[in-house]
Amino acid sequence: MRNPDAEIIERARKWTGESFDASTREEVQKLIKGPPEALAEAFYRNLEFGTGGLRGLMGPGTNRVNKYTIGMATQGLANYVLKSFPDDRPPSVVVAHDCRHNSDFFASVTAEVFSANGIKVYVFDALRPTPLLSFAVRELGCRAGVMITASHNPKEYNGYKVYWDDGGQLVPPHDHNVIAQVKQVDPGSGIRFGRAEELIEILDDSFDKKYIEAIKTLSLSPKSIKKYHNLPIVFTPIHGTTVRLLPQALKAFGFSCIYNVPEQDSPDGSFPTVASPNPEEGAAFDMALEIAARHGAELVMATDPDGDRLGAAVKDPKGTYVLLNGNQLATILSFYVLEQWKQQGKLRGDEYIVKTIVTTELLNELASAYGVECLDVLTGFKYIAEKMRLLEVSKRFLCGGEESYGFTIGDYVRDKDAVISCCMLAEAAAWAKGQGKSLYELLIGIYANYRLYVETLLSVTKKGREGAREIRELIEGFREDPPKEIDGLTIARIRDYQSGAEKDLYMGEIHPIDLPRANVLQFLLEDGSLITMRPSGTEPKIKFYFGCSENLSDPSHYEEKRISLLHRLQRMQKELGLK
């Protein structure tokens, strides 16, 4: 990496002025005197909102999460709220935080800046999961909400998720408008600090009870729970925010046999028992699976630090615990909701589910079979929430999910919600047990009745300023010079969400894509296999999604066909030069 240019040095020196506190000035002075690469990484850009909001490494600098970048984001958001709702006297917002290092401090800074701008602030008295923040925005009639969290990122990260008055994360035009406001804020002199205590109200656990009572109404098979209330379940928050709320919710639904993982019940931003607090990764389940084996648990569940994403493991016919991926979780939950609505005669033709464009196509097949519309949106749960808002009067939302372990059911939360998802997954297990099946067998049955879909994700990490350039060049290379075929299969269509066009290579026709512009590229092969590539909005990665499918007439052939499809996906990765 080249030495930082004059602009970077000038930026850094501004942070050594009297407008910044003593500890910040001292840390920046050390950066200026230290390795040029470290200074450049801290100051070469401003953090921006991506698909998951503001997220980055903690530390001093414009490209780091700290008191001043949090303050800038809050000041810009405050300016936008005041501008958007001039008749509110005063407008209100709600703030929550997760278990990460400095999250409580950043939440306090956020509340301070809002109150200093004459905005009423509701603040939770301790850490809370993200879905409760989304619920609170609408329940309290707030104009916006802020969740201090870096989701499942490593312990060195923190972040700032912004919600609008519909309870969903910011979408266009609000996200761009807030960014524009934030860019106008000088980090040294443009942030209003000065806590106005009279505008700050603390929310205690009585608010948790409102949320639990609300999501209880979404239960679809209370009789199944009553019959199998002692279904053995293991749950771990992996040191995160759901440590109290989720077990309380499971018990409120009626489940009575819940085992915890004592070592992981302590909220801790260091995540001492795991390499990564990510329920997508099998290693995060090690301790929970030990307890599950000891007690013969039929379902093992885990959530990420801010409690919006879930992971789960179930027993196969041999008694071995198998981790379900995000697409499989979405499949089971979507099927369960659709089947229950059908059995109870509640489907009337105006229902819909939502998935992202990188989530299994099996959800489209399921929805079609039940006469329910399935809508595709860009990656990011905020786009699912946007559909919920746009269609809340004309259609009925059932559920929505994404391959990255996010799912929600019902309209109380306009974001992914691991609490309701875990409760409903447990309920689905109880219902399946009444049909003489495990969740594993239920999933294989879905594949047999519809089609076996297998998907994989490959992430290529490119850190820093040079990494960002390499990611741009990588996707542009595929965009400008796409392959003609992959694994012996012709590419039939190319969808370029950046240009907003889909090209049919057989017919030579170009069709518009009715979604917002985004730096996403998809290759659709002649057999229906799908390859998607997109830079991450929250991490220094470019992600490649691969999916293919095959009929599964005999459930006993599941493992054989699954491995065959995985080999096909591996060949595709190799041909694209990714392995």
Assign residue 436 a region (left: φ > 0; alpha: ψ between -120 and 50; beta: otherwise). Answer: left
Across 255-283, b (16+ Cβ under 10 Å) vs e yields beebbbbeebbebbbebebbebbbbbeee
Tokens standing for residue 150: 């870096």
- How far apart, in whole angstroms, are the C-alpha atoms of residue 463 and residue 541? 8
- If DSSP codes are grouped into helix, strand and coil, which group holds residue 347? coil
Structure tokens at 12: 């850094």
Dihedrals phi, psi of 383, to nearest 5 degrees: -75, -30
**pLDDT, tens digit, for every residue of 29-76?**
999 999 989 999 999 988 876 555 689 999 999 999 999 999 999 999
Start and end residues for every CATH 3.40.120.10 domain found in the chain: 49-204, 211-449
**Model confidence pLDDT, tens digit, residues 272-296:** 999 999 999 999 999 999 999 999 9
Q: Does domain 452-575 have CATH number 3.30.310?
A: yes
3-state secondary structure of 237: coil
DSSP characters over 460-501 = EE--HHHHHHHHHHHHHHHHHS--SEETTEEEEEEEETTTTE
pTM for the full predicted model: 0.94
Using the Cα atoms of residue 206, residue 215, residue 288 and residue 254 in order, give the sign of their dihedral.
Answer: positive
In angstroms, the CA 92 to CA 140 distance is 9
Q: Dig out the tokens for 258 from the structure.
A: 């819940």
Residue in 460, 462, 505 with CA at minimum distance from that of residue 482: 505
Q: Containing H/E element for 569?
A: helix 558-575
Where, residue-wise, is CATH 3.30.310 in the chain?
Answer: 452-575
Beta bridge partners of 532: 522, 545
Q: Is 151 left (phi over 0), alpha (psi -120 to 50) or beta?
A: left
Long-range contacts of 467-471 (CB under 8 A, 24+ apart): 467/540, 468/540, 471/535, 471/540, 471/541, 471/542
Q: Give me the CATH code for the 211-449 domain, please.
A: 3.40.120.10
Q: What is the pLDDT along the chain (579 residues), one digit of tens a residue?
A: 445 478 899 999 999 999 999 999 999 999 999 998 999 999 998 887 655 568 999 999 999 999 999 999 999 999 999 999 999 999 999 999 999 999 999 999 999 999 999 999 999 999 999 999 999 999 999 999 999 999 888 899 999 999 999 999 999 899 889 988 988 999 889 999 999 999 999 999 999 999 999 999 999 999 999 999 999 999 999 999 999 999 999 999 999 999 999 999 999 999 999 999 999 999 999 999 999 999 999 999 999 999 999 999 999 999 999 999 999 999 999 999 999 999 999 999 999 999 999 999 999 999 999 999 999 999 999 999 999 999 999 999 999 999 999 999 999 999 999 999 999 999 999 999 999 999 999 999 999 999 999 999 999 988 877 888 888 899 999 999 999 999 999 999 999 999 999 999 989 999 999 999 999 999 999 999 999 999 986 678 899 999 999 999 899 999 999 999 999 999 999 999 986
Residue 502, class by beta-carbon neighbours within 10 Å (0-12 exposed, 13-18 middle, 19+ buried)?
middle
Task: List the catalytic residue out of 92, 115, 151, 549.
Answer: 151
Q: How far is CA 75 from CA 12, 44, 89, 480, in A?
A: 21, 22, 18, 41
Residue 151 a catalytic site member: yes
Burial 451-489 (b: 16+ CB within 10 A, else e): ebbbbbbbebebeebeeeeebeebbeebeeeeeeebbeb
Displacement of CA 309 from its chain's centroid (Å) = 6
Instruction: State the CATH architecture for 49-204.
Output: 3-Layer(aba) Sandwich (3.40)
Long-range contacts of 285-292 (CB under 8 A, 24+ apart): 285/236, 285/311, 285/313, 285/321, 285/323, 287/236, 287/261, 287/263, 288/234, 288/235, 288/236, 288/261, 288/264, 288/313, 289/234, 289/313, 289/321, 291/234, 291/259, 291/261, 292/232, 292/234, 292/259, 292/321
